Chains A and B, each alone.
Chain A
């Protein structure tokens, strides 16, 4: 059964303190790994899709990387506006299977 596990559940960072979020997955044939950002009371906002081990994508202070078993979302010098829940999902045949997310809080 396809499964996605995210860690940590919650992360508190000081502004400028870089860190990484982890997404471990088990899937029979990866057909895409997605990262989304979700603000309170809002729908998930698409960030990245990765398809093969070794692939990397960047957007502002965020960089997503992928191995055969996990993905990392690296946050460099975060700002308070980066505070949100970050969701990881794998593409299963025809739909996304989500992890439970990492709630990130960045303090000034």
Chain B
């Protein structure tokens, strides 16, 4: 596609429910990143994929968070048993490859509110 596509754009969920956030990267991009941005805060790295592998998942805040990528394209970020502190914008980004010299492009984000 023309840009990084994320869905849903907005999600309100009850505390304790599971949520899935989807990211469709730019066509041909092999690297895919997930970031989280809380209100008024900077972007916090969660995990990145090169192809279907996740070489760096050091930013996942707890074992309630997981992500997968299949077919080297679409990725899903899953948050189990959501808590109010999970409320944030979840941003997905992609680049041609995860190496310097490659621009990283972001989607518009999925706004998650846990009530």
- A residues in contact (CB < 8 Å) with B: 31-32, 34, 36, 42-46, 49, 51, 87, 89, 91, 93-101
Instruction: Determine the interface band of chain B, counting residues with CB < 8 A from chain A.
Output: 20 to 34
For the complex, is B98 an interface residue (Cβ under 8 Å from A)? yes
Quick one: closest A residue to B100, CB to CB? A31
Q: What is the minimal beta-carbon distance from B109 to any residue of chain A, in angstroms?
A: 5
**Given A43-B91, A43-B109, A44-B91, A96:B104 Cβ within 8 A:** yes
28 cross-chain CB contacts under 8 A: A32-B100, A36-B106, A43-B91, A43-B93, A44-B43, A44-B91, A44-B106, A46-B104, A46-B105, A51-B100, A51-B101, A87-B42, A93-B56, A94-B50, A95-B33, A95-B45, A95-B48, A95-B56, A95-B98, A96-B33, A96-B45, A96-B104, A98-B42, A98-B43, A99-B42, A100-B41, A100-B42, A101-B42
For the complex, is B86 an interface residue (Cβ under 8 Å from A)? no
Contacts of A97 in B (CB 8 A): 45
Q: How many A-B residue pairs have CB under 8 A?
A: 53
6 shortest interchain CB distances as A-B pairs: A43-B106, A100-B42, A31-B100, A98-B43, A98-B42, A43-B108
Q: Are A49 and B91 in contact (CB under 8 A)?
A: no
Which residues of B in the span 56-115 have a Cβ within 8 Å of any Cβ on A? 56, 91, 93, 98-101, 103-109
Q: Please report the C-alpha to C-alpha distance between residue A13 and residue B5 in the assembled complex, in whole angstroms.
A: 34
Q: Are A91 and B100 in contact (CB under 8 A)?
A: yes
Q: Please report the C-alpha to C-alpha distance between residue A99 and residue B45 in the assembled complex, in whole angstroms.
A: 12
As a 0/1 sequence over residues 20 to 49 of chain B, the CB contacts with chain A under 8 angstroms (1 = contact) are: 000000000000010100000111010010
Contacts of A95 in B (CB 8 A): 33, 45, 48, 56, 98
